[in-house]
Structures are given as structure tokens and as C-alpha cells.
Amino acid sequence: TVYVYKFDEVYNDGHDGGPMAGLSPEGEEHLHFLGPEYEAFHDSEFWARFILDAEQRLAAAGLVSAGVAGGDRALPGCEFASLRNEAYIPVRNPDWEEGQPEWAKMQLVYPPNEAGWNGAGHANPLDGAIQILARMEEDCDHAGSDDPEFQDSSWPGDSDGAPGEDGARGEETSPDV
């Protein structure tokens, strides 16, 4: 499991430092501080490569996928990798009774499977990487095609598809690849 942190101002509800900082005992806020400086900063190409590298390593190790977990979003062309936004979501508090404070009507919970891969409805920080994976899967699907459009099997943005001496491939590409 890889967790990608994406900061949102909503987390600073009456305090700085993210959702847990406001719950820290006075003087210990630093133990739970999770501000925007901890946000994942990699581009779409990095995440697509990361996902593909993980897929290749898991397959090479002989692992067999049990399939996509309930509630997760399958990623194009991937056997092991999937996506799930684990941000807590508000649901009705089943223990709330008339006469209790209104704020207690709702509670935050880990998103249940039926809420889907993005129950919180946040923007997907990996959308560009998913677009790259989808394009690569489409290219693989057409690999035997005589259509010249599908003859290039290189990494998006590469001139020859091969990694350079430093292991990097080609130029940076936009997430619209």
C-alpha cells in the first residue's frame, strides 16, 4: 500500500496543521502536524512509472493478484494496482438521538466500499497518471495493428522509448498525454 497525501484547506478547521493537529494536546501539535509541505509533489509521469514498476516487480516475484478490492478503482492495464481515496466521509450517526447536539448527527468514518473509490469526492491527484496508463494500455491493445498510429511503443515523450544512462526516459510530458 502506498499512501499519497493531498492537502486541503478544509483540514485546517480552526487550526493549522491538518486534521489531527487540532486534536493534539497543547505543546504536542508538532507530533500530528500535517500541512501542505507534506503533500505529494510528483508529476503524472512519475506516478505512472511508479505504478508500472510496482506492477512489474510484483509479477516478477511470482505474486498473483486476488483482484481489485471492493470499493477500489481499477487502474488501466494493471493487475495489482488500484486507487482509493481514504479520506473520511460524513455519515449519519446511528447513535444520535433527539435532544443531542446537532453537530453529533453526523460522524466521520472511513469510507465504506459502497461509497466507491472516492467517497469524499475530492479531485484525483493521479488523474494524469491514469490517462498515461490508459494510453499505454490502448497502445498495447493495438500493438499488432498495421495502423501506423499504433506502431510507436515508446514511453510518452520519448524519442526512442529507451531509458537514458541515468535511467530516465525522455522529456517531461503534460498530464494530457
Cα–Cα dist 69/83, whole Å: 9
Answer yes or no: pTM beyond 0.85: no
Cα–Cα dist 79/101, whole Å: 47
Residue 14, pLDDT above cutoff 90: no
User: Among 81-85, 104-108, 128-132, 162-166, where is mean pLDDT lowest?
Assistant: 162-166
Cα–Cα dist 6/4, whole Å: 7
pLDDT at site 24: 74
User: Among 10-19, 85-94, 150-159, where is mean pLDDT lowest?
Assistant: 150-159
pLDDT at site 74: 95
What average pLDDT does this structure show over 67-96? 93
pLDDT at site 85: 92
Contacts of 136 (CB under 8 A, 6+ apart): 48, 52, 76, 77, 156
pLDDT at site 38: 83
What average pLDDT does this structure show over 86-111? 91
Interstrand relation of 89-92 and 82-83 (parallel, antiparallel or unpaired): unpaired
pLDDT at site 162: 35
| Residues 31-40 pLDDT 10s | 778 888 888 7
What average pLDDT does this structure show over 88-112? 91
Please write down the long-range contacts of 104-110, taking CB distance under 8 Å and 24 or more positions apart. Answer: 110/86
pLDDT at site 161: 40
pLDDT at site 119: 93
173 band by pLDDT with thresholds 50, 70 and 90: very low
Residue 113, pLDDT above cutoff 80: yes
